[in-house]
Amino acid sequence: MRIKPVPEKLKPENLNRATIAYYNLRQVHGDMPHRIPRGPSPDLPDEQARMIRESREAMRGRRVLEVASGTGSASREIAVTAVSVTGVEIASNMLSIAKESDNPSNVSYLAGDAFDLESIASGERFDGGFASGFMHTCPSSRYLEFLDGFHGRLEKGSTVFMRSSRPTSPDAVSRLFRVEGHADQFMTRQLSDGSEYVMVENDPTEDELRRIFEPLSKNLMVHIGNYWWWIRYELP
Ligand SMILES: C[S@@+](CC[C@H](N)C(=O)[O-])C[C@H]1O[C@@H](n2cnc3c(N)ncnc32)[C@H](O)[C@@H]1O
């Protein structure tokens, strides 16, 4: 993997801005991930089906607070077993698409920042936490800030399920880079209008996930697949 010097683009505020701009514009251009060729991946459908099954099982019967709900595709998946799902999303175009989609009546979406959940749906009580495709773009320096605020909105004994894609396709691997002295891994992403975005693209190992989540949780389950990783745990 290439080692590059720390450019302006890697300052936390610029990474955050690039992440929001990328997801907003990706919708405008319709550059969805499934358009990117990944090569032969015959085991992908089975892994995805298992991840969805385990997400639904974890959120069964729960009033779920979901962060980074995007267009709501994962929200609708877990709504099959959850009592309710409240998705929080920062990119306005993603949020509009989610709201305009065909949603079941137990799903709702709110504009908000995963790092600032205190006043989101204040007064509502949640006993399930869900994040699909958020942690891999979260700078590691902000993990504890995020988890502190997220867990703070969940009741004691809540179940949390988090999942993220892994940059394992040849295309993804070719766009990854690290910077000396920096804990995160980065990726350059491109949209079809030629615009480029540098974003965090972490791909944690099981040991790293255990180091982050074990001190904060009970009954931590970690699964590292070929295309996604996912974890499930309970709040003490
Ligand atoms: C990979 S997409 C995942 C969308 C959806 N959860 C799914 O699984 O299909 C990541 C989403 O996280 C959102 N996001 C990134 N940072 C966020 C933040 N600080 N607060 C809320 N949403 C955020 C992005 O705008 C984008 O919609």
> Is residue 89 in contact with ligand 1, taking CB distance under 6 Å?
yes
Site to probe by mutation for ligand 1, drawn from 15, 19, 107 as the one with most ligand atoms within 8 Å of Cβ, is: 19
Which ligand 1 atom is nearest residue 87's CA? 6
Pairing between β-strand 3-4 and β-strand 107-111 as defined by DSSP bridges: unpaired
H or E stretch covering 219: strand 218-224
Report the C-alpha gap between 203 and 138 in whole angstroms: 11
Establish whether residue 91 lines the binding site of ligand 1, counting it when its CB lies within 6 angstroms of any ligand atom.
yes
Q: Which of 170, 169, 172, 171 is nearest to 185 (CA)?
A: 172
Give 88 Cα–ligand 1 centroid separation in angstroms.
9
Q: Which residues contact 95 (CB under 8 A, 6 or more apart)?
A: 89, 109, 111
CB 51 within 8 A of CB 120: no
Locate tokens 């320096």: which residue?
141
The pLDDT tens digits for 187-226 are 999 888 888 999 999 999 999 999 999 999 999 999 999 9
Instruction: Out of 23, 88, 132, 227, give the residue to mutate to test ligand 1, the one with the largest number of ligand atoms within 8 Å of its CB.
Output: 23
**d(CA 198, ligand 1 centre) in Å:** 16
Is residue 74 within 6 Å of ligand 1 at its C-beta? yes
Mutating to test ligand 1, I would choose from 17, 90, 136 the residue with most ligand atoms within 8 A of its C-beta, which is 90
- 3/128 Cα distance (integer angstroms): 39
Return the CATH superfamily for domain 41-166+203-234: Vaccinia Virus protein VP39 (3.40.50.150)
Strand order in the sheet with 185-190: 3-4, 176-179, 185-190, 196-200
Q: Mean pLDDT, to the nearest integer, of 138-161?
A: 97
Give yes or no for residue 115 CB within 6 A of ligand 1: yes
Convert the pLDDT of each residue in 30-40 to its tens digit: 666 655 667 77
Cα 66 off chain centre by: 10
52-111 confidence digits (pLDDT tens): 999 999 999 999 999 999 999 999 999 999 999 999 999 999 999 999 999 999 999 999
Core vs surface per residue 107-142: b (16+ CB within 10 A) or e: bbbeebbbeebeebeeeeebbbbbbbbbbbbbbbeb
Give 72's Cβ-side CA count (13 Å radius): 25
pTM: 0.95
Q: Give the three-state DSSP class for 190.
A: strand
